[in-house]
Amino acid sequence: MAKIPDQPQDVFVDLTEDYKKVFGKDLVSLIIYGSAAGGYYVKGKSDINLLVVLTPQAVDRLDDMLDVVKSWRKRRVAIPWVMTKDFIGKSLDCYPIEFLNLQTNHILIHGEDVLAPLQFKPADLRLQIERELKGKLILLREGYLETEGSARQIRGLIHRSLMAFVSIFNALIYLKQAAVPHKRRDTIKELARHIPLEADVFLTCVEIKEGVDKLSGNEIAGVFKRYLREAENICNIVDAL
């Protein structure tokens, strides 16, 4: 049986060697992102997210990757994102939040750090921030109705939705021309320095996400209502930018 790594770095050498065997000099970069790069990896629960950057000549050779991807999935390495440098450069206008968060939390394990020099246009970021916030607000309302008031399901809704807001918060911090933190709690606290935000409700949601809170069912419902209200507040702030 394939061994689940105790820590993400346990797989870096072997993972790199396997991809180098497949692509050789066409392998531009191997980059870890997500919880494994941000210090939130939990053995047996977290996947190790991988970005594979290839040359234009190799990017269509997906068949060559099939065995490697299948093998590493058994060790909780997720199906990778496969891109070229050119694709990344041409995608910053439509996916600035995603690439900003990749830039903020990643570990280069092989090749060129293609994420480090990326720069984002404020207008592109502001537009995506507004679109994402309003979309998340609609989904939160829908999700709450789907819970039928169940505290367990409300807890799950907070758990599933929080990191999308943290990603948006990072983009807002960047838009305010401040340094983007690496840790979710630091992101919330930093954003509260730039906009009128009740940071404590989001910090409580982090505790719910991490499973370390001790809230009752009634308290969970109250937290969610504040969470929803603050999400709407941030939408209004972004509208006014």
Q: Which CATH superfamily is domain 8-111 in?
A: Beta Polymerase, domain 2 (3.30.460.10)
End-to-end CA separation in angstroms for the chain: 54
Q: pLDDT at position 44, please?
A: 84
Q: Which residues contact 235 (CB under 8 A, 6 or more apart)?
A: 130, 133, 134, 137
Q: pLDDT at position 2, please?
A: 66
Residue 1 has pLDDT above 50, yes or no: no
Residue 240 has pLDDT above 90, yes or no: no
- Which H/E stretch holds residue 183? none
Q: Which residues contact 178 (CB under 8 A, 6 or more apart)?
A: 190, 193, 194
Find out whether 205 and 219 touch, Cβ atoms under 8 Å.
no
pTM assigned to the model: 0.88
> Which residue from 81, 64, 56 is spatially nearest to 19, judged by alpha carbons?
64
**Per DSSP, which regions of the chain are E strands?**
27-33, 49-54, 81-83, 106-111
Summarize pLDDT for 145-203 with one digit per residue, the tens.
Answer: 999 999 999 999 999 999 999 999 999 999 999 999 989 999 999 999 999 999 999 99
